Structure 1
Amino acid sequence: MFSYILYGFVWLISFLPFRVLYLVADLNYLLLYYVIHYRRKVVRTNLCNSFPEKSLREIKAIERKYYKHLADLSIELYKLWHMSEGSIRKRCVFKNTELPQSYFDEGKSVIGVLGHYGNWEWMSSYSLWETGADFLALYKPIRDKVTDRMMKQIRSRFGAVLVAKDDTLRVIARYRSENRLFLAGFIGDQTPNGRNLNFWTRFLNQDTPVLLGTERIARKYNIPVVSVHMRKVKRGYYEVEFVDVCANPSELPQGKLTEMHTRLLESFIQEEPEFWLWSHKRWKHKKKF
């Protein structure tokens, strides 16, 4: 019953204009940060460990900015449900689409690696900027079927093709067999489960396990890889920039591609740290020496 109530509530509030929704976000920020203390310990620990050179005052300033951004993210996600194409194109601008297009012109599909940075959910509007290739949005299905249906409706609103993470290899193989082009969005900062702690690197001053799925698929099919940087220009407005990572992943030694896209994400975070998902328990696994 709760899932149906949530479905109806989100559907209704997604009709509200941004100026009203951001008033709700302001209230949510106060509740999350000052009242509920939502994952404050996790955020503070992650920030202190990632930026040991910063003072506590500087850490707290980033922390407050982060919670304001976090409050914006939820309403921006739900607003996707009833945003017009004109509105999302104005609010989420893809700057250099000629980079992936250059690969499409060569008959090559592309893997785009991004992190939980900026508003990664609005990346699903990429299909409005590119008609010659499908945008494959990888996602983890939600157990609750009603909530899962709601999220799929929101995320596919502007033409993204949703691919359950366990179906990734099969779907990519099918696209290749059918000679259909795609840009597949891989999240590069997911936390591996305990069975997949196979690759470790230094990320934000900490030993960090990284999933190798992106690299394995890219090297298997020699799919060019680009990094996706989503910059928050101002509240409710983002710019997406593609950064070339590797045109021929199969030529790289194992682990090199993962290092390359991880270093790029790290540089984005260091530039404007408040826009990364600090409440995520990214370092719950510890390296065993």
Structure 2
Amino acid sequence: MQYKLVMFMSRVCCCLPHGLLMAAGRVLGNLYYLLIKKQRERAVAQMMPALGVSETEARKLVKESFVNLARNVLEILYMPALTKENFSKYVEIDHLERMQAAIAEGKGVVVLTGHIGTWEWLSAAFTMNDLPVTAIAKPQPNIQYTNALDDLRKTINVQIFSRGTSELMAAARALKAGKILGFLADQDGGPGGALIDFLGKPAATPMGPAVFARKFHAPVLPAFIIRQPNGRHKVIIKEVMRYKDTGDPDKDLYDFTVEMTRILESVIRENPTQWLWFQKRWNTAPEQMKSGKHHTSLSKEEKA
């Protein structure tokens, strides 16, 4: 039932002008901000110390972040309407040549990104330019929503591998085959992650991007999609990053993850209304972290 509802909503969205969807997104975002107290208060509480802003300023920024989220949802539903012919109407890409050069190396590309802007459209920016895109994503609590979302992603030719499952081995093979493998690296990394300061507070940080880059000698490209004041999106592809092997894998993986975390932080600080402030980014307490080598958590995938 939920699957059919999502797909019906998608068909409706695809029949509407994009500008009308964005206007509806502002209305829905403001309603969400007013009605969903738990997420609103968590977002405000997490933003204030992270950005060093007052409660008044935090509430203003969080409200805009809810508007951005509502627009994101509507744009995800709108994805079947995207084509190579109309995509440039909505999105411009800065330094696409960096991605093309990295793909040309033949070792696949690890894309470092986060829940910033309409992140699903970041994949479209590459597939619309004939680049092979895969990504690792956390399944939704409801399998029907997961299936609907995956089917919407298929309309922009993106293959998804479920985080925390045996599908990570297939993700490793995709990277090995020279494809783009995207990581949303701004989520809680759980007890097996690395304890790294994130926006001023220790957080369990996923090490997947560093592990895959090390194993497959793949370049890492930080890439983000940012909603512009004029309503369009801008894809920003930063300079290539590479895993540095000093002979100490544990330290090297940790240091590389710290380097990537700093990039994520800087993008969030520059675009505070475009990140999901209510997500449970600091959910794993430091005392819950596992001890031992940082690079052992994905050893099965390394064998793929």
TM-score with structure 2 length normalisation? 0.84
Take 1:12 and 1:28, find their aligned partners in 2: how far apart are those partners?
Answer: 16
Q: Residue by residue, what CA displacement relative to the aligned partner does 1:215-237 show, whole Å, maximum 9, x if unpaired?
A: 11111111111111322223541
Q: CA 1:73–1:63 in 2, change beyond 3 Å: closer, same or farther?
A: same
Give the gaps of 5 or more residues in structure 2.
289-304
Aligned to 2:195: 200
State the Cα distance separating 1:9 from its structure 2 match.
3.0
State the Cα distance separating 1:280 from its structure 2 match.
0.8
User: Within the alignment, does 1:135 sit opposite 2:113 as a pair?
Assistant: no
User: Within the alignment, does 1:69 sit opposite 2:80 as a pair?
Assistant: no
Report matched runs for 1:74-153 at 5 Å. 74-131=73-130, 133-142=131-140, 144-153=142-151
Q: Aligned partner of 1:160: which letter?
A: V
Q: Aligned partner of 1:73: which letter?
A: N
Aligned to 2:160: 162
State the Cα distance separating 1:274 from its structure 2 match.
0.9
Instruction: Report if aligned partners of 2:83, 2:128 keep a CA contact under 8 Å in 1.
Output: no
Q: CA 1:61–1:171 in 2, change beyond 3 Å: closer, same or farther?
A: closer
Report matched runs for 1:222-237 at 5 Å. 222-234=217-229, 236-237=231-232
Instruction: Report if aligned partners of 2:161, 2:171 keep a CA contact under 8 Å in 1.
Output: yes
SS in 2 for 1:288: helix
Take 2:60 and 2:182, find their aligned partners in 1: how far apart are those partners?
Answer: 31
Q: CA 1:225–1:5 in 2, change beyond 3 Å: closer, same or farther?
A: closer
Q: Residue by residue, what CA displacement relative to the aligned partner does 1:110-166 show, whole Å, maximum 9, x if unpaired?
A: 1110011111110121334543x4111222334645433321121122222222333
Take 1:262 and 1:245, find their aligned partners in 2: how far apart are those partners?
Answer: 15
Instruction: Report if aligned partners of 1:50, 1:204 keep a CA contact under 8 Å in 2.
Output: yes
SS in 1 for 2:237: strand
State the Cα distance separating 1:51 from its structure 2 match.
2.0
Q: Percent of aligned pairs with the same residue? A: 22
| Corresponding residue to 2:182 among 180, 185, 189 | 185
Q: CA 1:281–1:109 in 2, change beyond 3 Å: closer, same or farther?
A: same
Take 2:231 and 2:57, find their aligned partners in 1: how far apart are those partners?
Answer: 25
Q: Aligned partner of 2:271: which letter?
A: E
Q: CA 1:211–1:171 in 2, change beyond 3 Å: closer, same or farther?
A: closer
Matched pairs, number: 282
Instruction: Report if aligned partners of 2:125, 2:235 keep a CA contact under 8 Å in 1.
Output: no
SS in 1 for 2:228: strand
Aligned to 1:260: 259
| Structure 1, 27-36 or 246-255: larger mean CA deviation | 246-255
SS in 2 for 1:241: strand
Take 1:35 and 1:149, find their aligned partners in 2: how far apart are those partners?
Answer: 27
Aligned to 2:293: none
SS in 2 for 1:280: coil
Q: CA 1:270–1:127 in 2, change beyond 3 Å: closer, same or farther?
A: closer
Take 2:99 and 2:33, find their aligned partners in 1: how far apart are those partners?
Answer: 39
Instruction: Report if aligned partners of 1:218, 1:250 keep a CA contact under 8 Å in 2.
Output: no
Instruction: Report if aligned partners of 1:110, 1:224 keep a CA contact under 8 Å in 2.
Output: yes
